[in-house]
A and B are shown apart, each in its own frame.
Chain A
Amino acid sequence: MVTLKQIRNSVLIALWMMILTFPIMVIKVNTIENIVIWRWMNLLYIGVGTVILSIFWFFLINRRKLEPEERKRSFALKGKIETLKGVLAKPVVQKPLYAALLVIIIIFPFVSSLYQTGIMITALMYVILGLGLNIVVGLGGLLHLGYAAFYAVGAYTYALLHRYLGLSFWVCLPIGALSAMLLGILVGLPVLRLRGDYLAIVTLAFGEIVRILLENLSQYTGGPAGISGIPRPSFFGIKMSLSTAMNYTYFLTFALVLFTIFVVRRLEHSRLGRSWVAMREDEVASEAMGIDITRAKLSSFALGALWAGLAGVFFSAKTTFVNPASFTLWESVIILCVVVLGGIGSIKGVVLGAIVIILLPEYLRAFSQYRMLFFGLILVMMMIFRPGGFIPAKRRVYTFDKAQLEESD
């Protein structure tokens, strides 16, 4: 629990924050019209807010210091959550639960409005993007900050091929994915020698280069205005009304999500997947154990990019419009948030993360302008207090069964 000293410290922290944020929070100037507004109430909000936040902070810090056993005792609810988890893990409970979820997902577009279906498609697309980035960040441990660039390549491939050659969605889907993958390999080559932070900054730079190129090559890409009039996915050339087309897109996206989950699950425990995890844990050591680091890095880059490309083609088919503003650095950061919040390396976590990050701001419209502020705060808090995310990834454990071993002898 929080000690008295920590409460006193909270008050001191609040005082410090009030002084620190004074110019920016209290005074608002407009140098065009020479108006100065003094907002003294903000000082009060900052003070009270900081006291509450820092007491909460100290509470979490104290908890973090406890041993896991003690923590369970200090927090009665936690025990109940554990039993709930145990019940949920049983196949008898799990199977009907998944079935119910599937039914809800299938019924959803028929009972909800067009707008709701649109949001749901977006959320599903972020699931795909999150799972794709999860291959690079979660399994490979390579911090990738230019992921939106591959997403953009997929989206623009479809938009441009449709505009100039009149190709359809289904032809462009593999082309978009492959071109994103090729680009992934191209970016992967120069950054092979880099690790950690350098990699992050080069991928970030690369993402920005792609965006600036899209903005400035206006004779081909339409510049900042982008390309509009991209058709939605077709179904053997049958004409569909808007709502049918939306529902169709929804199911296609959902099918792609299922496919992605299937592939990522298979990849995770494959030879390649295990070499990624080894690389993430220690690059030098894994190389010494005979893992081809070049291959592992390139393949994780390429496969991550492949999924971004697929999602990109879906994106331009869904919105029927692309412009460079959809692929800024913050897009990459949001996708990273999906992975980090959900649980780095965990598939269930990433799915949950995507749904929370996309749906919550949609339904809390009143707070939508604070969305990025909270994202920032949550990223920091998550890293400090729950680095594994909502649903932390579980490592597969191979148990050593003595009885079985003796039997086989």
Chain B
Amino acid sequence: MDLDYFFQLFLGGMTRGSIYALIALGYTMVYGIIKLINFAHGEIYMIGAFTALIIVGALGMTGLNPVLIFLIAGVIAVLTSAGYGVTIERIAYKPLRNAPRLSALISAIGMSLFLQNYVLLAQTSNFLPFPTLIPEFKFLANAGGIISSTQIIILATTALVMVVLTLLIKFTRIGKAMRATSQDRQMAQLVGIGINKVIAFTFVIGSFTAALGGVLICSHIGQINFYIGFIAGIKAFVAAVLGGIGSIPGAVLGSFVLGLTESFGTGYISSDYEDVFAFLFLVLILTIRPSGILGREKKAKV
């Protein structure tokens, strides 16, 4: 077996997994708190990537340092996406908080459709190339092209986000409020937690990480269009379900499992069926263990 090829696939899988993890975090956190599959989450990721591309394009003329441009674009994109996340929650989900779950889910599908077409109409339906802005690191020259500097940045950023997020949820005041809200919304309200604020904050964090994923993956793959959010969103959701939805370590674990499966599946079997692997995996996991790898089984009550 070709070891170099194996490592390439492994690292490719890890990179994929990192991006899925960044998106899946938003899904899992939102689900944990308001028990809603935020279908529009993939669109947030796409909007993050698009905004970054637009800012990069607009700043490209000024002749600034590419790394600086990338940073500015990243910051603006992430902030804008967080804004989108909160706005979507306000418009499409908040009025439905006490409605049947099906209503909120259909509203989320509607929002996803709307956002996709909004970007399609305001921008373009073509694939746009994303300029390379991250320079190749010098020390990678003798690594033999197994790993690129973008991949290193993606892996490092994901790791950092995970650590910060875990600390945030474990030790800060708002993190505690989030955990309380996800356990029992009514009780949380009774003990004086402003659940509207907590929910909005969850959407901010979720959109923030998704947009970060969007910016990073586009600088890695190098092209985007309005449709990327849908498939990435579905796969991240698969990852979140794999790990057990509502659980943050579960989402990360599920993402890496999914990323590696896809990478090895396409590398050793066939690249035509890339998306089928993810979906088959989902069906299998849900059939065998509906609560996911790290999820807890819940008993239904009347």
Contacts and interface: CB of A to CB of B under 8 A. Distances in A.
Given A197-B37, A285-B302, A208 B50 contact: no
Given A190-B283, A198-B290, A372 B122 contact: no
B104 A376 contact: no
Contact of A202 (B47, B95, B230, B283): B283
B119 interface: yes
Interface string B229-247: 0100010011001000000
A266 interface: no
A380 B111 contact: yes
B153 interface: no
Interface in B187-246: 230, 234, 237-238, 241
A23 B55 contact: yes
Nearest to B101: A196
A202 B118 contact: no
Contact of B107 (A20, A194, A379): A379
Q: How large is the interface on A (under 10, 10 to 19, 20 to 34, 35 or more residues)?
A: 35 or more
A372 B117 CA distance: 7
A20 B80 contact: yes
Contact of A212 (B37, B58, B275): B275
A198 B292 CA distance: 11
B293 interface: no
Contacts of A208: 234, 275, 279
B241 A206 contact: no
A373 B58 contact: no
Given A193-B287, A204-B234, A23 B102 contact: no
A29 B58 contact: yes
Contacts of B124: 28, 30
Nearest to B92: A380
A115 interface: no
B155 interface: no
A216 interface: yes
Nearest to A213: B276
A284 B275 contact: no
A205 B281 CA distance: 10
Interface stretch (A31-39, A176-184, A308-316): A31-39
B168 interface: no
Interface string B69-112: 00000001000100110010001100110011111111101111
Given A24-B47, A36-B61, A205 B282 contact: yes
Interface stretch (B3-11, B125-133, B140-148): B125-133
Contacts of A16: 83, 87
Given A28-B123, A31-B130, A383-B110, A20 B87 contact: yes
A190 B287 contact: yes
Interface string A115-146: 00000000000000000000000000101010
16 contacts: A31-B56, A31-B60, A36-B61, A143-B106, A194-B290, A196-B102, A200-B105, A208-B234, A209-B279, A336-B106, A336-B109, A373-B118, A375-B113, A376-B111, A378-B110, A383-B110
Interface of A: 16-17, 19-21, 23-25, 27-32, 34, 36, 42, 61, 141, 143, 145, 190-191, 193-194, 196-198, 200-202, 204-206, 208-209, 212-213, 216, 282-285, 288, 329-330, 333, 336, 340, 369-370, 372-373, 375-380, 383-384, 387
